[in-house]
Structure 1
Amino acid sequence: METDERRSGVRAAAAAPEPAGRARVPRQLWVEEPAERRRMPDPVRTAAVRAVLIMSLTIIQAVVAFLCTLAGSWLAFPMVVSGVASTVVATWSVLDVWVTRQVWNQRHGVVSVPSSTARRMRRERRAARREARSRARKEARIRRRGAGGLSRA
């Protein structure tokens, strides 16, 4: 619903008297919408927040270094040197987000890709466990039959 539609709806509702027997439905302040994308895993989100904080501090430091250079302050040289160092750290933190995301996907499987390697490996492990359980049940059945002799006949 657009803002103009909401405004016109409010004016129309205020101008027209309510019919008897119908209660007025209050407008909702918050409308829940389904999420289009899944939430990021915790380690990836932590790395992303860390990277954003480091990058913002690096940008602030670069602005201060620039302003100190324009002003001819003695602080300009140390700020430029530390700005270069913090740029390296910021680049490292962005790479950390990328690597953390790749590691998460590799360990936990990519849900959205049907031909996921992790999904195939999980399927194979489940099949192996199922096979081992059925083999163990068969072995137990054979042992029970062999131990009792001809008690069933």
Structure 2
Amino acid sequence: MGTAERRGAPEESVAVRSQAERRRGAPDRDIPAPARAEEAAEGERRQEYRPLWVEEPARRHPLPDPVRTAAVRAVLVIAVTLVQAMVAFLCTLAGSWLAFPMVISGVASTVVATWAVVDVWVTRQVWNQRYGVVSEPSSTARALRRERRARRRQERASLREQERIRRRGGAGQLSHS
């Protein structure tokens, strides 16, 4: 199955493609099949041009850059907070003097992690409000806009007509005699 065929059918899964290759008698990659020299060369050529992966179209749009940045920052802060919580727990079990400072910093980190998650949410809302709103006006609003446009067109047409009459030099003249 060539690259063009595969790109034409992105919904076809890897398992379905591999089963189809097995049915056609495609040899396993790690077991050399006894074949004629030209068949082996053709098989090597086929494997040579086979891509490592097949890009399928994304089902959803990627996150906008500011939202992605905030999300990455939140994930890092949450990861550090979880590590601090684990260290505080282990220090407490061991009876170490470091347990109390770790618990205090863990509480502070939890506040910062909560802020980071809220930051992602707020950044997403702000981005959607500024750039992502798709406005679909109601049929009433559309009809009103259509009427306004028609009125403006009529006004422009009448202004052009009056301007043309003025340019001809006749104030209401109907003939050129």
State if a TM-score over 0.5 links the two structures: yes
**Higher Cα Rg, which structure:** 2
> How far apart, CA to CA, are the structure 2 residues paired with 1:14 and 1:6?
19
Please name the residue that 1:46 is paired with: 69
Unaligned stretches of 5+ residues in structure 1: 111-115
Matched, 1:75 2:92: no
> How far apart, CA to CA, are the structure 1 residues paired with 2:79 and 2:113?
9
- Quote the RMSD (CA, aligned, Å): 3.9
> How far apart, CA to CA, are the structure 2 residues paired with 1:85 and 1:72?
21
Q: How does 1:1-153 map to 2 (within 5 A)?
A: 1-2=14-15, 5=19, 9-11=26-28, 14-15=32-33, 16-17=35-36, 18-19=38-39, 24-26=45-47, 27-110=50-133, 118-120=135-137, 131=149, 134=153, 137-138=156-157, 141-142=160-161, 144-145=163-164, 147-148=166-167, 149-150=169-170
> How far apart, CA to CA, are the structure 1 residues paired with 2:73 and 2:152?
46
Q: Is the 8 A contact 1:47 1:100 kept in 2?
A: yes
> How far apart, CA to CA, are the structure 1 residues paired with 2:62 and 2:119?
18
> How far apart, CA to CA, are the structure 1 residues paired with 2:115 and 2:81?
12
> How far apart, CA to CA, are the structure 2 residues paired with 1:135 and 1:60?
71
1:18-40 CA distance string (max 9 Å, x none): 45xx6732232122111121111
Aligned residues: 143
TM-aligned CA deviation for residue 7 of structure 1: 9.2
AA partner of residue 50 (structure 1): R
Q: Is the 8 A contact 1:109 1:119 kept in 2?
A: no
Unaligned stretches of 5+ residues in structure 2: 1-13
TM-score, normalised via structure 2 length: 0.61
Change (3 A) 1:76 1:28: same
> How far apart, CA to CA, are the structure 1 residues paired with 2:71 and 2:93?
33
User: Post-superposition, which runs of at least 4 consecutive aligned residues in structure 1 deviate over 6 A?
Assistant: none
